[in-house]
Amino acid sequence: MSRKKKISIIAAIALTAILISMHLLILSLLDPMKDVKAMDRAMTESNQDAFFTHLTLDDKAMLNKQEYLNYLNQADWKNIRTQLTEALNGDKNFDSSIQDFDGNTLFMVKKNTVVPGIYHNYEIQAVPSLVMVHSNLPASFFLKDHSVELKNPEEPLELVASYPGKIEINGLMKTEFGDIKQKQTIEIVPNQSQEIVVEFEFPERTYQITTNVPEATLYINGKSTNKQLKDYEALGPFPEDKEVKMHAEWKDKQGTNHSTEVVNQASGYWGDLDFEFELEEEVMAGSSRESSANSVEAANNHVLSFRDAYEQALNSKDFNIVSSFLAKDAGAELKNYIGKLKDKGYSYNFTNNEVTHSVQNDEDTYKITTNEKFIFTNHLGEQTKYDRNKTYTVEETDEGLKIIKITIEDTNRNEL
């Protein structure tokens, strides 16, 4: 064999050895099991920093490494480790889900191609839960650098993504009467939907105004609101952790300033806040009008008569029966509702109509609060008992008393 040929053979053998060594080195570097082994060692040693170096994390998600590690231990780490081993040793070309003992996804194992048909590596992605906030009233919510404003209480709103562990959410509802704050500490535990809805319940109690001078200006904690009492349908809600002081002021035609006693939210135990002025009769003549018991009684009777007629209108599907009780805008809504009842076998049985509170807001307007009970029967004969509180705004017009607005305050339903 010539020297040149010997050199060629030796070179080929050396190159082959180098290629084999490189191949083995690449396989070693890409060996997915080394990550699982390292994670298992870190779990045993409670080395949180070492554990998370082998995971792909969502940078925007909330993460408490120690609490996450504790959760994985509680969720049976040995079983999770077995799932990871099977996913990494398998020949699947699609993503594998690694789950806790309840079947909730913790990780996704993704196979990535380095050299097609030869080399692959694997990525273990930690799956966070989406934290949503929901409240009974519009409010803002804060979590460290994350914040959202919930304007529509009907729909939950996304706040942040989070891995298992505890998070603290602060809620804030700003009102004219002060800031109402709430705080909740939540334990994030994965679920099937990967969404967690945190419910906030803000105080929503309001108080009716009673006054003999609706044109008086309301003061809150000594500061003028620049609004008259008659501009408010009700006062509240109020913060539950601090006192809110209120009074009203009014200047008569002679320029004399009059003030009511100071009240707070605790003064409204029975649902009313009283802003009565102690005035002589001749001074009261400077106000638009004294509160008239006869006028309020007439408004009460107007609402109760409307309720009697409304029961007939619903069961006969005839809006004309109640049209004379209503102003145009209020009537349009009820006319549309009654119109939709045609060809439907619904029936209504009004069992109670009671005026629970009434007040004259200004010269021509009254607020009448009622409790209404009725039984609704659908086309299948199924019955539901309703217990509802409403507020009617009644106005004195050129055509007599008219209901201009109907507000449903709250409703309780019970299937019969």
DSSP code string of 362-406: SSSEEEEEEEEEEEEE-TTS-EEEEEEEEEEEEEEETTEEEEEEE
What single-letter amino acid sits at 138? Answer: P
What single-letter amino acid sits at 293? Answer: A
Closest CA to 369 of 276, 299, 314, 316: 299
The H-or-E segment that residue 90 falls in is none
343 found inside a domain: yes
Three-state DSSP class for residue 415: strand
Say whether both 231 and 144 belong to one domain. no
CA–CA separation, 416 and 411 (whole Å): 16
21 found inside a domain: no
Tens digit of each residue's pLDDT, the chain (416 residues): 677 777 777 777 777 766 665 644 544 544 567 888 888 999 999 899 999 998 999 999 999 999 999 999 999 999 999 999 888 776 666 788 999 888 999 999 887 544 455 556 678 899 999 999 999 999 999 999 899 999 888 789 999 999 999 999 999 999 999 999 999 999 999 999 999 999 999 998 999 999 888 999 999 999 999 999 999 989 999 998 899 999 999 988 888 899 999 999 998 877 889 999 987 654 554 454 444 556 888 899 999 999 999 999 999 889 899 898 998 887 888 888 888 887 778 899 999 999 999 888 877 889 999 999 999 998 888 899 999 999 999 998 888 899 999 998 888 988 87
Q: Contact at 8 Å (CB) between 310 and 392?
A: no
Say whether both 84 and 120 belong to one domain. yes
- Which residue, 79, 103, 126, sits at the end of a domain? 126
Q: Contact at 8 Å (CB) between 403 and 393?
A: yes
CA–CA separation, 265 and 263 (whole Å): 7
Say whether both 400 and 303 belong to one domain. yes
CA–CA separation, 365 and 286 (whole Å): 18
Whether residue 237 is preceded by a cis peptide bond, meaning omega within 30 degrees of 0, is yes
Ramachandran category for residue 317: left, alpha or beta (phi over 0 → left; psi -120 to 50 → alpha): left
Say whether both 297 and 411 belong to one domain. yes
- Which residue, 126, 142, 171, sits at the end of a domain? 126
8 found inside a domain: no
Say whether both 314 and 392 belong to one domain. yes
Task: Give the model's pLDDT for residue 291.
Answer: 43
Say whether both 410 and 307 belong to one domain. yes
Q: Would strands 208-211 and 272-275 be described as parallel, antiparallel, or unpaired?
A: parallel
CATH of the domain at 157: 2.60.40
User: Which residue range(s) make up the domain with 249?
Assistant: 208-284
Say whether both 250 and 237 belong to one domain. yes
15 found inside a domain: no
Tokens of 367: 């607020």
Q: Contact at 8 Å (CB) between 127 and 58?
A: no
Say whether both 31 and 117 belong to one domain. yes
Domain count, the chain: 4
143 found inside a domain: yes
Say whether both 395 and 350 belong to one domain. yes
Q: Would strands 347-360 and 365-377 be described as parallel, antiparallel, or unpaired?
A: antiparallel
Q: Would strands 347-360 and 272-275 be described as parallel, antiparallel, or unpaired?
A: unpaired
Give 204's contacts (C-beta < 8 A, 6+ positions apart).
136, 137, 236, 237
Say whether both 238 and 280 belong to one domain. yes
Task: Give the model's pLDDT for residue 284.
Answer: 53
Q: Contact at 8 Å (CB) between 273 and 238?
A: no
| Torsion angle of C-alpha atoms 290, 296, 302, 307, degrees rounded to 10 | 140
CA–CA separation, 57 and 80 (whole Å): 17
Q: Contact at 8 Å (CB) between 357 and 337?
A: no
CA–CA separation, 340 and 268 (whole Å): 40
Say whether both 269 and 323 belong to one domain. no
306 found inside a domain: yes
DSSP 353: E
Q: Contact at 8 Å (CB) between 68 and 77?
A: no
Q: Which residues pair with 197 in a beta bridge?
A: 132
Instruction: Record the pTM.
Output: 0.59
232 found inside a domain: yes
405 found inside a domain: yes
